[in-house]
Amino acid sequence: MISVGSLSVVAAISFLIGKLWSSSEAVFEKRQAAYEGFLKLCPHSTEVLAQLVTELNDDLMVKIREAYSAAALYASPQVEKLMTNYLVALGDLIGSHDGDWDRAEAHALNADAVYSSMLEAMRRDSLGYTWFGIAYRIDRWKNPKTSAE
């Protein structure tokens, strides 16, 4: 038979688990919003390349700085590293505006590759333990060689 004391222990444990779960959900929501803001604000390498064709605009650097500062607060360490790598790749692209378009295109392709990796890490990180995140983790566990990390 279940006593009143054991029910209160179960209720207390359930309350704590619920608090932990809801706080992690709040962090995931903020993380998703931060990643969305980064992707909206930070220019894509094609936008940077188009700016190089015309002329370099100072507004571009402001957009990069605002995008990074908004997302860096909630980013996981892996996403933080990839965001930094993407900004370095954008810096290389911006620095290559001396008229050598082959070099600029190579830097743009490098920035695109880093962007794709960053986007995949953001997707994996922001989905967390939702159905899509759990399905991805199961697939990665089943097929470790085919899933990108």
Residue 71: the pLDDT is 81
DSSP letter assigned to residue 42: S
| Phi/psi of residue 2, nearest 5 degrees | -95, 130
Q: What is the pLDDT of residues 93-102, one digit of tens each?
A: 877 767 777 8
Please, are residues 139 and 147 in contact by the beta-carbon 8 Å criterion?
yes
- pTM of the complete model: 0.62
Q: What is the pLDDT of residues 113-141, one digit of tens each?
A: 999 999 888 888 877 766 666 777 777 77
Which CA distances in Å does 24 have to 107, 121, 126, 129? 38, 18, 11, 10
148 Cβ partners below 8 Å, 6+ apart?
Answer: 117, 120
